[in-house]
């Protein structure tokens, strides 16, 4: 009898843990660029759509565009939506902490990141928008890891990403990258 109860309890805990993992995974957009495009289209038709605003903010966060995500979450918190306002404020605090930590460590240089920027720019000039986006993403990681001053090299990567996204017909993503580049500027 005890063994059955123990097995039932363990099984219930495993099922509960699995469902939490599935639930958390479902909260993250699988394709943040597509989620951003959908939310942007919805907001263009219905500017007050709270779900679309939330989806846009989450997509910006998933795309690692913290400045734009902060703006989006602050707008949600300002609406006074009790359901999402608290969570939006929590995310703003977390994103600001991330940015402050990056700023604290910033001021280095990265020859590898600068080379990735050059390769990405050359790829875009050749008409290889996908290659430019790959180089820009890789260079952005290198720049962040090297603690490069975010007001310079990182901003240029966002501009390159915007150009690559626009060349691939992803205007919502391009606009998000431009916003992030604008917000990174001192």
Q: Which residue has the higher pLDDT, 18 or 186?
A: 186
Of 181, 182, 154, 176, whose CA–CA distance to 57 is shortest? 176
In this model, does residue 57 exceed pLDDT 90? yes
146 and 130 in a common domain: yes
Q: Read off the pLDDT of residues 117-141 as tens digits, 9 standing for 90 and up.
A: 889 889 988 999 999 899 988 888 8
The tokens describing 166, both together, are 């626009």
The tokens describing 4, both together, are 């059955």
The tokens describing 116, both together, are 């990735």
What is the number of structural domains in the chain?
Answer: 3
- CB under 8 A, 24+ apart: contacts of 28-33: 28/58, 28/62, 29/55, 29/58, 29/59, 29/62, 32/58, 32/59, 32/60, 32/62, 32/63, 33/59, 33/63, 33/165, 33/170, 33/172, 33/173
Q: Which of 38-47, 156-165, 167-176 has the lowest mean pLDDT?
A: 156-165
Q: Which of 48, 72, 105 is the last residue of a domain?
A: 105
82 and 44 in a common domain: yes
Band of pLDDT at residue 149, cut at 50, 70 and 90: low
For the four alpha carbons of 136, 141, 144 and 148, in that order, the dihedral sign comes to: negative
Q: Do 176 and 68 form a contact (C-beta atoms < 8 A)? A: yes
Q: Which of 105, 137, 167 is the last residue of a domain?
A: 105
92 and 48 in a common domain: yes
Q: Which of 57-71, 78-92, 134-148, 152-166 has the lowest mean pLDDT?
A: 134-148
pTM of the complete model: 0.62
* Phi, psi angles (nearest 5°) of residue 63: -80, 5
Average pLDDT of span 151-180: 86
CA distance linking residue 57 with residue 39, whole number of Å: 9
Residue 4 is classified by DSSP as: H
Q: What CATH number has the domain bearing residue 164?
A: 1.25.40
164 and 126 in a common domain: yes
CA distance linking residue 158 with residue 124, whole number of Å: 13
The tokens describing 22, both together, are 């599935």
Average pLDDT of span 105-121: 76
Q: What is the pLDDT of residue 5?
A: 65
Q: What is the pLDDT of residue 104?
A: 65
């Amino acid at each position: 009898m005890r063994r059955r109860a123990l097995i039932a309890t363990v099984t219930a805990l495993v099922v509960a843990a699995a469902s939490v993992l599935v639930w958390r995974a479902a909260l993250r957009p699988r394709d943040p660029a597509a989620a951003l495009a959908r939310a942007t289209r919805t907001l263009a038709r219905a500017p007050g759509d709270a779900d679309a605003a939330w989806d846009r903010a989450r997509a910006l966060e998933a795309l690692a565009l913290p400045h734009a995500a902060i703006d989006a979450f602050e707008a949600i918190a300002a609406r006074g939506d009790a359901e999402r306002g608290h969570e939006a404020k929590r995310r703003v605090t977390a994103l600001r902490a991330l940015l402050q930590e990056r700023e604290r460590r910033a001021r280095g240089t990265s020859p590898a990141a600068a080379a990735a920027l050059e390769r990405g720019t050359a790829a875009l000039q050749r008409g290889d928008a996908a290659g430019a986006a790959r180089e820009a993403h890789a260079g952005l990681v290198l720049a962040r890891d090297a603690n490069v001053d975010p007001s310079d090299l990182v901003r240029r990567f966002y501009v390159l990403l915007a150009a690559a996204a626009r060349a691939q017909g992803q205007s919502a993503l391009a606009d998000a990258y431009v916003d992030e580049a604008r917000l990174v500027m001192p």
